[in-house]
Amino acid sequence: MNTLEAKEKLKQLVDRSTGIRVYFVDEEGEIKDSALSSAELTDCKREFCASLEQKYIDNESFTAPLLSEHDDRKHALYQFDFDDQPAGFSVLDDAIELARSGDADTFQVIDNQLSTIKAVILILENEYGVSAGFYQHVYSVSLLNADRGMLNLTAHETRIIKLDQDVLKISPNFVFMKLGDDYLIENVKALESQLNFKKAIHEKAWRCTEQLHEMDLIDDLEKFAGKIAEETGFARKFVKVFSESAVIESGVTNEQLIEYAKNKDYYSEALAYNEAGDRFKLDTAKKCRAFLELLDDDLLTSNLTGRDYIARNKDRI
Give whole-number Cα distances, 228 to 192, 201, 231, 292, in Å. Answer: 15, 10, 6, 12
The span from the CA of 178 to the CA of 221, in Å, is 38
Where do the structural domains in the chain lie, given as residue ranges? 3-196, 199-310
Beta strands at 299-301 and 308-310: parallel, antiparallel or unpaired: antiparallel
Q: Answer with the residue of higher pLDDT: 310 or 225.
A: 225
The pTM is what? 0.75
pLDDT averaged over every residue in the chain = 88
The full length of the chain comes to: 317
What pLDDT, in 10s, does the model give residues 96-135? 999 999 889 999 887 657 888 999 999 999 998 899 999 9
Which residue intervals of the chain are DSSP H helices? 3-15, 42-52, 87-101, 188-193, 198-214, 222-230, 232-244, 246-249, 254-263, 265-270, 285-295
Q: How far apart are the first and last CA of the chain?
A: 15
Diameter of the chain by CA atoms? 83
What pLDDT, in 10s, does the model give residues 252-292? 899 999 999 999 888 888 999 999 889 999 999 999 999 99
Is residue 55 within 8 Å of residue 129, measured between CB atoms?
Answer: no
- Nearest Cα neighbor of 121 from 109, 138, 100 is 138
Give the confidence band of 136 by pLDDT, cuts at 50, 70, 90. very high
